[in-house]
Amino acid sequence: MSPDAPQPPPRQTPHLRGYILAVILTAGVTVLIVALLISIFERRAESQTPVLRVVKVDETTVDPKIWAQNWPHQYDSYRRTVDHGRTRYGGSDAIPIQKLDKNPWLKKMWSGYAFAIDYREARGHAYMLLDQQTTRRVTDVPQPGACLHCHASVIPAYRFAGQGDVWAGFLKVSAMPYEQARDLTDDTGQKLIEHPVACLDCHDPDTMSLRVSRPAFEAGIAALMKHERGIENYDVNRDASRQEMRSFVCGQCHVEYYFDPDDKHVIYPWTRGLSVDQEEAHYDAIAFKDWTHGYTGAPMLKAQHPEFELYNAGPHAAANVACADCHMPYERTGAMKVSNHHVQSPLLNMAASCMTCHGGSEADLRARVHTIQDTTQALIDRTAVALVAMMDDIALARALGASATDLERAYALHRRAQFRLDWIYSENSRGFHAPQEAARVLADAIDYARQGQLEARTQLQALRARAPDDATSPDAPPLAPIQGVTPAQEAPADTY
């Protein structure tokens, strides 16, 4: 080789190459660790400062869009309550199902009462005020302002009407005709009732802690705590645990209730407990009736939607699982744990609502739920057949001359049977919240209905024995026209 020829580059030894690779690898790992630590520190800082308040909210801030500036994640899911999603036995539709057409026996069961003219499937929270003000139960029948207690974000209206005293305002607004209460304005002419349930109804605007705002629940739970635990002057917002509050805020409205006969304010019948038997005992003790049945003439009770009561008789309540655990499950948003405010059936979000506690597959668990609901529905159908048969015989005896005194025992059995059927039918879990209790209540309802039918037939036999020529008509009398929640002749003069 010539001495002027180019020399090849010096060969790197294996030891040097390994050294270079180690430096590169170490640098890469260092970059990854630094990035991970930065991410952890950022997430920790985010979780420790979950709320950056960009706008002040207080007891007058009803519009959830204002709250959304501070709590956008919760508001995003809250807005989804406009969505439509159905399960086998309930849910939301763009055009709500008319249940009176689906189950014609309901018209006879509620004869003479506003529910006999319009009873549709309930939609999401976003529609609760709109659907109330447009139902024929309100547009065609005079109703009190008490109806707004659970369908509107109404506390500022109570505070204004009561000059700062929420309870006084609650009594005053409840006694107004519905339209007058719905159109309440403040001193500047600003309408006070414009939103369905909103942030202010369940959260303290200063601390965001859960709170109960509905006066009827505060009074009802105090009466229940006195009865069950001997606690005097129970204050739900002072004495309830955080886990209890995660059910109580829902129980503010998802309950059985009635209107005071004098001033129409909402009352929860919990002085003797939460079961259907204990609520009925409360009504019997004060000789209360919602209306006089238009077909049989019996003094009746209308069950509302006792989800809170039936849930408290079931296994989830016994396991200290709250309403929010299933209907508003936690979800991760960045480093924050946020309650999903898209309140809906757990069956529509089983991965987050059910599977965090239950093992097995979603398909198996869904099948178990459907078995419970199918069984409850079958019992409802059989109870309805028994109830209608009893009502037909009572109505026929009445048409043939039986007096209210003659039918007193049949009326009592009619009231017991119908209240129990209505209590389970109008409850929105189709028995799931407490399957065994639902089956027990419906079994009692069937028994009371058949006893009532036997009692009515005893009266029919007596009538035919006294006047065989005039008491043989098989025709039942027609259903009575709608009279509303409280017949006008029984309402206080200044209520409507």
Q: Which pLDDT band holds residue 337 (cuts at 50, 70, 90)?
A: confident
pTM of this structure: 0.85
Contact 113, 482 (CB under 8 A): yes
- Of the candidate ranges 89-98, 108-117, 422-431, the one whose mean pLDDT is the lowest: 89-98
Residue 254 tokens, joined: 């998802």
Domain annotation for the chain: domains and CATH numbers: 64-253+322-345 (1.10.1130.10)
CA–CA gap between residue 388 and residue 392 (Å, rounded): 6
Contact 125, 491 (CB under 8 A): no
Q: Which of 1-5, 52-56, 79-83 has the lowest mean pLDDT?
A: 1-5
CB 486 within 8 A of CB 291: yes
Per-residue pLDDT for 424 more than 70?
yes
Helices (H) and strands (E) in the chain, counts: 22, 8
Give the β-pairing of 330-333 and 299-300: unpaired
Specify the pLDDT at position 457. Answer: 97
How much is the pLDDT for 30? Answer: 80
Check: CB of residue 481 under 8 Å from CB of residue 294: yes
The reported pLDDT for the residue numbered 145 is 97
Residue 407 has pLDDT above 50, yes or no: yes
Is the CB of residue 342 less than 8 Å from the CB of residue 291?
no
Torsion of CA 109, 110, 112, 117, to 10 degrees: -120
Indicate whether 487 pLDDT > 50.
Answer: no
Q: How far apart are CA 433 and CA 309, in angstroms?
A: 9
The CA-atom distances, in angstroms, between 433 and each of 87, 89, 254, 311, 445 are 15, 13, 13, 5, 19
pLDDT tens-digit readout, 240-257: 999 999 999 999 999 999
Q: What is the largest CA-CA distance in the chain?
A: 145
Do 385 and 446 touch, CB atoms closer than 8 A?
no
